[in-house]
Amino acid sequence: MSHVTKTRQGFQVRLEPEETALLRALMEQLLALLGDAPGPDDELASMGIAENAVKPDDPVLARLFPDAYRDDGEAAGEFRRYTEIGLRDGKREAARAVLGALGETDTDTVLDEKRMQEWLRALNDVRLALGTRLDITEDWYEEAGALDPRDPRAPMFAAYDWLTMLQDGLVHALEEPPLEEPPLEEPPPE
Does the pLDDT at position 5 exceed 70?
Answer: yes
**Mean pLDDT of the 149-176 span:** 90
Q: pLDDT value at position 143?
A: 62
pLDDT grade, residue 101 (50/70/90)?
Answer: very high
65-78 residue pLDDT tens: 888 888 887 887 78
Packing angle, helices 73-102 and 113-134, rounded to 10: 120
**Mean pLDDT of the 92-98 span:** 96
Percent of the chain with pLDDT over 70: 79
Q: Are strands 3-7 and 108-111 parallel, antiparallel or unpaired?
A: unpaired
C-alpha 143/C-alpha 137 separation (Å) is: 10
Packing angle, helices 17-34 and 113-134, rounded to 10: 70
CB atoms closer than 10 angstroms to residue 81 = 17
14-36 residue pLDDT tens: 999 899 999 999 999 999 999 88
Q: pLDDT value at position 145?
A: 64
C-alpha 66/C-alpha 61 separation (Å) is: 8
